[in-house]
Structure 1
């Protein structure tokens, strides 16, 4: 897919200052202070412009005027380079998507970025950015792109900035994927995870200049995931056991009992609801999938959303246990279980009885959704974006299908077929019969039966 931004501006003519071209050639946009005298002109005004760009920005800062004058060299992954100014994108929403050859999830999310760019050709400019600190050589980049082309027949349709230092400095981050946002008014909105790049947020920005996005910070535990201090000060405390929401300063950490000075700590940070559910009720859910869950009607929509939308920060939680005593792993887990049940007001039971279910089989239409082998795309989250599965195992599709069904699902786990299937935007609003009919037309037949089955029953705690 052709980058729509480049398509619009390619015919324009640009006058780039000679001093900035020299800066680009000599220093890749950003010059270390020790080299400034060698590469910059004696123009005080020019030096002031460049100095503005050395400062890391904070969300809410307006982009320096000198930023828009800076040159921007874009690479098309095929050896062709084009020169522009950042100002050529002014007035649009701008997303800088930071990536590296070592970041598989970064590369495999690019098709989604291309789709989003295609939907907003005049309002949005998405530019990929490979930082100089990645140490990605041309040979490494070419080898990576060749591998994706051979495996998926995929050529990246967006343009990238290579060996970047400028944007990496302006928009500080220490983990990727990371996307930097500038709204149409030239305000830096912050860096987010790539899952925030969706139609809902873009529509909000186009209307108001703002969006309710989780802005990520410099992660304090990037070098050591377990290096997370107590989320709440333990000074003077005898006992803390509480669940809190998303913490933007830390990458996810997993539960680990720590004994120190006769005290016990047990903490997990930024984990999905589904992970916490498993940790709290291992015996109840062990060996059973979401398609084996039965929900009390009053909470079915909320809990299904929490399970499926694991990447959403509103479904990401942290837990802290502190005991001024020495307790074992089992006791720590019991405290967490109690806190989980209380915080979410849930009761989780493992049962076995005769219940209504769907049994999956495949009809003559199934061949038409077998994958064409393109780059995998997984967009399972209901919302404004299409629910899309491309080059994804039918098992994964069926596992996530629980969100749209009114009963558990039984299917053959040995089927290794990969499929391409997109659910219509209003799929979740259709009647259950219409949903089943749509799936039938795609080759997936769900037959309702009643049979004895082991299942997880989730209900509201009384």
Structure 2
């Protein structure tokens, strides 16, 4: 009897133990599930939990439905956080602008982004994104923003996502500033440089869902700008000397000669017309500025190329491949010959008595003296109004040569900062109308004759 009782007690104890273990396991599962549920309400945790389910997007891909259902935590740079879903932006053009505290140009471009957002409040959503890989701490971000506020009285109006891993994975890039575009149908259009965020491209995307923007996700020479392979297959070739159009896969490099296996490769990649002009005709343009150039009357298209370096149609590559050893002098001579043939231009340095515009400032100039806000310069002729805020007047004067018919002469030492906007139709106005607009804003351009050196650019006969 006693043995049966002892056996019964042992069985009961064993049963209780098993039940206790099962209860603990169930309770643990409930705690884990509760914890996971709690984590899924936080956008950062959600990114870490499911980003492995989402792969890097390619231009033309449609964002999956799961993307729109995910929460998004936005920071207002003042410590306030707000939670939304990505789906709250659905139906708009969405631009994710990637930035970091170490990227000065990223931060100084934010006022332009704010202006663009203000022009399209219902059709556009611009969200700043600070990637976790930047290793920006809250203290570093606060210190950076405090510096801009103290210096320029500037508070960022756009919202940012901090410690991002999801968007950095979805829209890959290896250089900033970089902007990821999603059209109103939820199709990823690609990553671009920030200068592509302008009214022309936004209007195109709104109307057609497409644009001719230069799309680049990952630059192949990011670690070493001069590490650019031949842009054209050299197999079977003994000599190549040619200009080509912009290629979106490489950051600009510097004039560079590489000798390998008895061959020579000389490249200038993704450089502006003005940069090529400088390197091709170094003796002719030495110590002179754009404002010292004189153009044939029918050369307005060349002046546009000189000014509008933000238009990828005005960015070019030069490549020289020779199955022999090549000196720098030889390389530049080949460059000169190719430049002359490709652009059909003749460039000469001259000295003489020529007509120029002498710059002076009248009593209206006070109205454009800067109020000291965050600097902005937007020289996008024909795309957006040109806007100069808290910029030296020389920034404007150097670019004015595109709009007028003579070189400009001004005192670089008299260089106050200004706030001025040139209307989008400024280039379509007549020369007298342009001069009148400038005069009304305090900048007087008086035609005079001066003895001076200048660069004459003419059509190749």
Do the structures match in fold with TM over 0.5? yes
Question: In the TM superposition, what is the alpha-carbon distance from 1:19 to its structure 2 partner?
Answer: 6.0
Cα distance, 1:21–1:61 mapped onto 2, change above 3 Å: farther
Say if 1:238 and 1:322, in contact at 8 Å, map to a contact too: yes
Within 2, Cα distance between the matches of 1:190 and 1:170? 11
Determine the structure 2 residue equivalent to 1:405: 404
Within 1, Cα distance between the matches of 2:266 and 2:174? 26
Within 2, Cα distance between the matches of 1:380 and 1:165? 34
1:115-174 deviations in whole A, cap 9, x for unaligned?
Answer: 000000000000000000000000000000000001110000000000000000000100
Question: In the TM superposition, what is the alpha-carbon distance from 1:27 to its structure 2 partner?
Answer: 4.7
- Alignment RMSD, CA only? 1.6
Within 1, Cα distance between the matches of 2:128 and 2:37? 21
Determine the structure 2 residue equivalent to 1:251: 251
In the alignment, does 2:39 pair up with 1:22?
A: yes
Determine the structure 1 residue equivalent to 2:160: 160
Say if 1:29 and 1:164, in contact at 8 Å, map to a contact too: no
Determine the structure 2 residue equivalent to 1:323: 322
Say if 2:310 and 2:380, in contact at 8 Å, map to a contact too: no
Determine the structure 2 residue equivalent to 1:375: 374
Cα distance, 1:24–1:272 mapped onto 2, change above 3 Å: farther
Determine the structure 2 residue equivalent to 1:349: 348
Within 2, Cα distance between the matches of 1:384 and 1:249? 24
Say if 1:20 and 1:71, in contact at 8 Å, map to a contact too: no
Within 2, Cα distance between the matches of 1:259 and 1:24? 57
Question: In the TM superposition, what is the alpha-carbon distance from 1:30 to its structure 2 partner?
Answer: 2.6
Matched residue SS, 1:317: strand
Say if 2:352 and 2:453, in contact at 8 Å, map to a contact too: yes
Within 1, Cα distance between the matches of 2:132 and 2:52? 20
Gaps of 5+ in 1: 1-16, 37-46
Gaps of 5+ in 2: 1-33
Within 2, Cα distance between the matches of 1:174 and 1:422? 34
Question: In the TM superposition, what is the alpha-carbon distance from 1:20 to its structure 2 partner?
Answer: 6.9
Within 2, Cα distance between the matches of 1:24 and 1:334? 64
Within 2, Cα distance between the matches of 1:178 and 1:202? 16
Question: In the TM superposition, what is the alpha-carbon distance from 1:259 to its structure 2 partner?
Answer: 2.1
- Aligned positions of 1:46-125 closer than 5 A: 52-53=53-54, 55-125=55-125
In the alignment, does 2:376 pair up with 1:359?
A: no
1:16-55 deviations in whole A, cap 9, x for unaligned?
Answer: x996761364854432xxxx5xxxxxxxxxx7xx6542x0
Within 2, Cα distance between the matches of 1:293 and 1:322? 32
Within 2, Cα distance between the matches of 1:29 and 1:336? 54
Within 1, Cα distance between the matches of 2:348 and 2:369? 37
Say if 2:293 and 2:454, in contact at 8 Å, map to a contact too: yes
Determine the structure 1 residue equivalent to 2:216: 216
- Aligned positions of 1:193-232 closer than 5 A: 193-232=193-232
Within 1, Cα distance between the matches of 2:38 and 2:130? 20
Say if 2:42 and 2:71, in contact at 8 Å, map to a contact too: no
Cα distance, 1:98–1:387 mapped onto 2, change above 3 Å: same
- Higher CA-based Rg: 2
Matched residue SS, 2:169: helix
Aligned length: 428
Determine the structure 2 residue equivalent to 1:445: 444
Question: In the TM superposition, what is the alpha-carbon distance from 1:337 to its structure 2 partner?
Answer: 0.9
Within 1, Cα distance between the matches of 2:408 and 2:44? 58
Within 2, Cα distance between the matches of 1:425 and 1:237? 47
Q: Which moved more, 1:424-433 or 1:163-172?
A: 424-433
Say if 1:359 and 1:446, in contact at 8 Å, map to a contact too: yes
Determine the structure 1 residue equivalent to 2:190: 190
1:171-199 deviations in whole A, cap 9, x for unaligned?
Answer: 01000000000000111110000011011
Cα distance, 1:20–1:351 mapped onto 2, change above 3 Å: farther
Q: Which moved more, 1:451-460 or 1:178-187?
A: 451-460
In the alignment, does 2:301 pair up with 1:302?
A: yes
Find runs of 4+ consecutive structure 1 residues off by over 4 angstroms: 17-21
Within 2, Cα distance between the matches of 1:291 and 1:23? 59
Say if 2:382 and 2:427, in contact at 8 Å, map to a contact too: no
Within 2, Cα distance between the matches of 1:243 and 1:226? 17
Matched residue SS, 1:96: strand
Matched residue SS, 2:47: coil
Determine the structure 2 residue equivalent to 1:181: 181
